[in-house]
Structure formats: structure tokens, C-alpha cells
């Protein structure tokens, strides 16, 4: 098996499952805590890193929400996003759809406009400086009431041109997709793309995937590897050409296994599966690390790696002309570096 690490590093990439708050590295958390006069529960960056010892979604989410308390001003959100975007540029990310969790901030008294305004500044800068294209997906917190989700959707409408889609994240236990049926019906009517987390190995994962398809009518599913437990739902996903945004290193922390074998199975079945980083500052791996892990564990070939990136562009919420340009970029890379290339 040839070493494909350099092939992966050079590949043009797209990332569709990345929580911007999950890119808050301990170093920046420290700097922002100092800037805003906020005490931290740890004395050093090393101590913070050592405290990230999750074994499921709930223990991860506790650290994730605690971490974001240092985010207060538009400049904080700009700095957070800028740090990620520089990293993404270094890794060859050409396009990213970025999740943000406004309710995790508005519930602490930080205004919606402060959050999105700061993120947007960094996104525009990345476009100007690097030609790195990004769009925002607003996630609603599923462990909050549906009425709060609806209120947040309405609050976002003045910013509709800055938001491409609506997602659903946070603690899945006892919070099925159908709880948010009306909110997502409205989101769709307003013209947003629609996606939802069906986290790996949750209680009722398969039932939640069924609701995503049959009740909500999602455009794609975040995580969703448990679809393989249902041949009927797998066939339906394939029939509709829907994609899954899988996050291998996140899976290792929250479900005890990267599920690399399932990525390979889904590829073989012709499902539009993609590989993403989820919350890289907490799980310790950006998108390249995730691709390398899966490639090694499932012994993926160059063509399969290229397929993962083509899948991401095919399921991205982009106009056809722009989509085709990114697909052509992948083709060019394949011709130059792939089998038969130099």
C-alpha cells in the first residue's frame, strides 16, 4: 500500500461539517479570557488540553459550551474564525460550509449580530486574501425548546443572505428531529438548505435518520453512519442522492471507533459520504488528519479519496457554475498527481 499522506495533503478539499466554536484552540481561549477579564478553570494551555478526555457526546458538549464563554465581542468571533480559516487555507481547503451555534451565545447575553458580524468579517477576509470560499449554516440546539429554535430562525431572517442553511446539533438524547418539524418546515419555506445531526451510535440513531428522511425532508445528514443498520434507509439515501458528513476522529472520541470501515462501505454503496473534522480543537485533528486516519484504516485508494472530495462538492449548497469549477479543480489535481500523473 503506497503512502498517500502527501497525496491527501495536496488534494483540494471541501469541509461541510465544522463547528466554528469547536475550532477554539486552548491558546486562543487563554488570550480571549485575558482580553475579556474572564477567569478560566485551568492555569495553563496544557491543563486545558489534559482536561479534554471525552468518552461520549455529553462529556464533549460540557467542555464545548464551557470553552465558548470567552467569546464576547465581534472581534472575538472574528479572531476565532480567522484562526480556523488560516488553518484551512494551509490544508488546501477550497470551500467550507461552517456551522455556528447562535443560541449558545444569545443565551449568555451576546447579541446575534455580534456573533454573525464577527464571523462574517473573517470569512470576507479569507475570500479576499486566499480565494477561500465559505458559507454559514446556522445550527439550532436540539436540547432547547422548539419555540426558542423558531424565535432564533426569525431573528436570523434579516441576515438571510449570509446564511445558506439551517442545521440541528447538541444533545440528541430525547431530542428527535420531529421535535423541530415546524421550525424546519419554515426554514425550508424561507429557502434555506436543511441538515440535521444524527450523531454516531446514539439512542435511536436509526429512528432519527428515518425522521430526517420521512418527516423533515433534509438535504443531507451530519454523521449518520448508523444508516447502514437499515438497508431500506440506506437505499433511500442513495435513491435521493443525499450525502453524509462523517467525522472520523470525532467518532473515536464520542463513539469509541473512527468508523473508517463504514466510510469505505458507504463509498462502495455509492452513497455521497464525506470526511470532516467536526470540532478539531477539542478532538485534536483537522480535516487532513481525518482523511489520513480513514485512508490508513480503510486502505482507501487515490480514486476513493478523490471521490470523498467530489462528493462534498456535489452535495454542497453552491450554484451549478461554481460547483463545476471546484469539480474541475479536483479533476486537474487528479490528472496531475493521481494514477498516471507525474
When binding is defined by CB under 6 A, the residue of 22, 165, 248, 285 that contacts ligand ADE is 22
- The mark string for 141-180 relative to ligand ADE (x by CB under 6 A, - otherwise) is ----------------------------xx----------
Each as own residue / partner, the long-range contacts of residues 29-35 (CB below 8 Å, 24 or more positions apart, any chain) are: 29/67, 29/70, 32/70, 32/71, 32/72, 32/76, 32/79, 33/70, 35/76
Smallest distance, ligand ADE to C-beta of residue 130, A: 25
Q: 226 near 200, Cβ under 8 Å?
A: yes
In the complex, what is the shortest distance from the CB of residue 68 to ligand ADE, in angstroms, rounded to a whole number?
A: 10
Which lies closer to Zn ion via its Cβ, residue 149 or residue 338?
149
Displacement of CA 197 from its chain's centroid (Å): 10
Q: Which does 272 bind (CB under 5 to 8 A by kind): Zn ion, ligand ADE, none?
A: none
For the bound state, the minimum distance from the C-beta of residue 17 to Zn ion, rounded and expressed in Å, comes to 6
Question: Smallest distance, Å, CB 156 to ligand ADE?
Answer: 18
Q: Closest approach of Cβ 16 to ligand ADE, in Å?
A: 13
State the binding string over 267-296 for Zn ion (x if CB under 5 A, else -).
-----------x------------------
Q: Which is nearer to ligand ADE, 76 or 278 (CB)?
A: 278
Is residue 220 part of the contact set for ligand ADE (CB under 6 A)? no
Provide the minimum distance between the beta carbon of 19 and Zn ion in the complex, in angstroms, as a whole number. 6
CA-to-CA separations, 324 to 84, 217, 277, 330, in angstroms, rounded: 25, 25, 24, 10
Q: Does 272 bind ligand ADE (CB under 6 A)?
A: no
Report how many helices (DSSP H) and strands (DSSP E) the chain contains, helices first. Answer: 17, 8
Q: Which is nearer to ligand ADE, 169 or 219 (CB)?
A: 169
Closest CA to 269 of 233, 294, 297, 218: 233
Closest CB to ligand ADE among residues 122, 137 = 137
DSSP H or E segment with residue 141: strand 133-141
Q: Which is nearer to ligand ADE, 95 or 282 (CB)?
A: 282
How far is the C-alpha of 162 from the C-alpha of 145, rounded, in Å? 25
In the bound state with ligand ADE, the residue whose beta carbon lies nearer, of 6 and 66, is: 66
Could you tell me if residue 296 is left (phi over 0), alpha (psi between -120 and 50 degrees) or otherwise beta? alpha
The smaller minimum CB distance to Zn ion, of residues 278 and 302, is found at: 278
| Of 285, 336, 290, residue with least CA distance to 309 | 290
Taking CB under 6 A as the rule, does residue 250 contact ligand ADE?
A: yes
Q: How far is CA 51 from CA 41, 66, 237, in A?
A: 10, 12, 38
Is 79 or 278 the residue whose CB approaches Zn ion more closely? Answer: 278
* Cα angle value 90/93/95 (rounded, 5°): 145
CB 282 to ligand ADE: min, Å: 8
Task: Tell me how far the alpha carbon of residue 193 is from its chain's centroid.
Answer: 14
Which chain residues interact with ligand ADE by CB under 6 A?
19, 22, 57, 64, 169-170, 197, 199, 250, 278-279
Which chain residues interact with Zn ion by CB under 5 A?
278
Amino acid at each position: 500500500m503506497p503512502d498517500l499522506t502527501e497525496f491527501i495533503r495536496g488534494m483540494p478539499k471541501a469541509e461541510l461539517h465544522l463547528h466554528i466554536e469547536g475550532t477554539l484552540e486552548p491558546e486562543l481561549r487563554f488570550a480571549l479570557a485575558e482580553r475579556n477579564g474572564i477567569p478560566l478553570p485551568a492555569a495553563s494551555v496544557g491543563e486545558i488540553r489534559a482536561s479534554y478526555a471525552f468518552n461520549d457526546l455529553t462529556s464533549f458538549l460540557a467542555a464545548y459550551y464551557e470553552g465558548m464563554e470567552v467569546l464576547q465581542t465581534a472581534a472575538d468571533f472574528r479572531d476565532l474564525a480567522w484562526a480556523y480559516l488560516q488553518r484551512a487555507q494551509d490544508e488546501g481547503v477550497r470551500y467550507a460550509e461552517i456551522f455556528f451555534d447562535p443560541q449558545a451565545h444569545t443565551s449568555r447575553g451576546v447579541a446575534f449580530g455580534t456573533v454573525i458580524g464577527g464571523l462574517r468579517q473573517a470569512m470576507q477576509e479569507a475570500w479576499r486574501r486566499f480565494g477561500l470560499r465559505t458559507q454559514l449554516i446556522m445550527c439550532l440546539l436540539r436540547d432547547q425548546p422548539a419555540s426558542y429554535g423558531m424565535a432564533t430562525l426569525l431573528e436570523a431572517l434579516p441576515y438571510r443572505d449570509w446564511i445558506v442553511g439551517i442545521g440541528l446539533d447538541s444533545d440528541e438524547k430525547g431530542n428527535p428531529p420531529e421535535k423541530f418539524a415546524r421550525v424546519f418546515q419554515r426554514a425550508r419555506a424561507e429557502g434555506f438548505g436543511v441538515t440535521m445531526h444524527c450523531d454516531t451510535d446514539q439512542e435511536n440513531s436509526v429512528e432519527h435518520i428515518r425522521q430526517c428522511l420521512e418527516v423533515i425532508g433534509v438535504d443531507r445528514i451530519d454523521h449518520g453512519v448508523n444508516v447502514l443498520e437499515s438497508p431500506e434507509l440506506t437505499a433511500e439515501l442513495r435513491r435521493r442522492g443525499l450525502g453524509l458528513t462523517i467525522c472520523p476522529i470525532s467518532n473515536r472520541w464520542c463513539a469509541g471507533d473512527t468508523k473508517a470501515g463504514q466510510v469505505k462501505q458507504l463509498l462502495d454503496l455509492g452513497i455521497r459520504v464525506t470526511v470532516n473534522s467536526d470540532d478539531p480543537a477539542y478532538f485534536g485533528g483537522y480535516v487532513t488528519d481525518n482523511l489520513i486516519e480513514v485512508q490508513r484504516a480503510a486502505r482507501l485508494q487515490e480514486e476513493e479519496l478523490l471521490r470523498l472530495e467530489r462528493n462534498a462538492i456535489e452535495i454542497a449548497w453552491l450554484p451549478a457554475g461554481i460547483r463545476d469549477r471546484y469539480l474541475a479543480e479536483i479533476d486537474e489535481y487528479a490528472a496531475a498527481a493521481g494514477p498516471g500523473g507525474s
